[in-house]
Chains A and B, each alone.
Chain A
């Protein structure tokens, strides 16, 4: 089966700073693939590079970057625009500012369908109303005529999700869609995304730093650190048998009811993600790792634990 999205050895630079350093991951049709890691490790930049939406000054390179087998690196900006919002859609972590304040919800939703499918305004409005109802918005007819500032953050994110679904995309990239929202709303939005993914059978690349979310919704997980994917595994396998010290550290930071003890401190990873400049070699985690020695400054091998699980570390399986 061909993967929906294939990313191999993706590199993204902003001037002298390497934001993504050889990240590889793939998303299969109909799966929920979670990309996890702490802030600043290159998750969002990876997603933006896939969509070719990098901010000015960002350059991308990859051995392979393909959507449904089509090479995205060879695609012109015009060709890419035909895919975006159509076969592959994206929602962002800033629902408050991601909608244009000057246009109604209806106008912003319908223009996607009109652009990609040549739909009439009437057809587009009907579809927009259907999708708003589907993402749990009551009185969709009323909401279509409203402006973004009249909606709460949770409602705006629902609108963003509905808008991303207008053209029935095969791939949806959701970049921390719940970070800016209240905790109660976060749960609603995630349940909604998981439900939509299941019902519509779309491939979902969900970027998050919330491992609780990952455990609940992910089919497979890619753990990202300092611009590299350091471990990839099916969800159950990753939680049961994490191999990379960074993954192990992340899992220790999650409070699990029944397993943590009141008198024991919750796990933490010391230090912060380093900025990686030109000429850096070896493991980027070594400064923060309990197992590091001088061999961590050499090139690190990718080790396999069966077909679906691999990790980037000198420590043997």
Chain B
């Protein structure tokens, strides 16, 4: 178990290092940062001054290790536009994005787990086909479009839910549903496939031969084994939701990390852009590790590996 943990941790660190490098290189590829920061009306002298002030005159490799070294100790630098610490900025915005992502994942699980289980139990019936059709439909629908549709119906026509802002918990319902919609198809199909496989296995026949209740057979014996791939994908989906909330936070005017990323890209605030990418990547890696740990709890065979 310890070896398993250490190995996972080493891989995770390598992934984070790769993401840091990519985030750094990509922001530099977008053009001369000093020119963009100085603005369109700046003279060459201004640009040179900016370049010197921000340390952009140093060799790229020095800049990278300077940034990476600070980031490793938690110092993400200062924002050019907001004139505050990047860490403070992200810290303020993160709760909104996390609340949104977790709300989305919870809604997705509440919908897709029962749907997947019921579809598996009723394999190849009309119910099963309808569930698969809805899943396919959900997969194909762009999230911003669904967001707009929900806003028109529940926000404007019916007036049940706020269409923007984060004033109350109700503000998270619509964006949460939209985010959930992107995860429901995959989670439902995976739950269904896992349950069908589990229900056809020998140990389920044993459970039935033992005279166990239907609930125990489905939820204790089958779901525990079917849940293993679902947990892995749920973690990945939560990662997607946190990153993908860039679009949804725009649509619903939620001031989270996604909104911050969009603002800082528009303002050429590259320390913020780099840091948002890094923080989301670290969260993503942490989620994958959490999923591995949960799977080791669910499946004792993984603990031996």
Contacts and interface: CB of A to CB of B under 8 A. Distances in A.
B221 interface: yes
A84 B211 contact: yes
A97 interface: yes
Contact of B211 (A83, A94, A147): A83
Given A149-B300, A149-B304, A100 B221 contact: yes
Given A81-B211, A86-B211, A90-B209, A97 B203 contact: yes
From DSSP, what is the main secondary structure of chain B's interface residues?
Answer: helix
B144 to A, nearest CB: 40
B206 A98 contact: yes
Interface in A59-98: 80-86, 89-90, 92, 94, 97-98
Contacts of B207: 100
Contacts of A112: 210-212
Contacts of A89: 209-210
B210 A84 contact: yes
Contact of A102 (B202, B208, B210, B224): B224
Contacts, number: 75
Given A102-B300, A147-B300, A149-B301, A85 B212 contact: yes
A111 B224 CA distance: 16
A151 interface: no
B273 to A, nearest CB: 44
A229 to B, nearest CB: 23
A86 to B, nearest CB: 6
A89 B211 CA distance: 9
Nearest to B222: A100
A80 B209 CA distance: 10
27 contacts: A80-B211, A81-B208, A81-B211, A81-B212, A81-B213, A84-B211, A85-B212, A86-B211, A89-B209, A89-B210, A90-B209, A92-B202, A97-B201, A98-B202, A100-B203, A101-B203, A101-B300, A101-B301, A102-B221, A102-B300, A103-B224, A111-B210, A111-B216, A112-B211, A115-B210, A147-B301, A149-B300
Interface of B: 201-203, 205-213, 216, 221, 224-225, 298-301, 304
Instruction: For the complex of A and B, list the 3 residue pairs with the smallest distance between their C-beta atoms, beginning with the closest.
Output: A84-B211, A85-B210, A85-B211
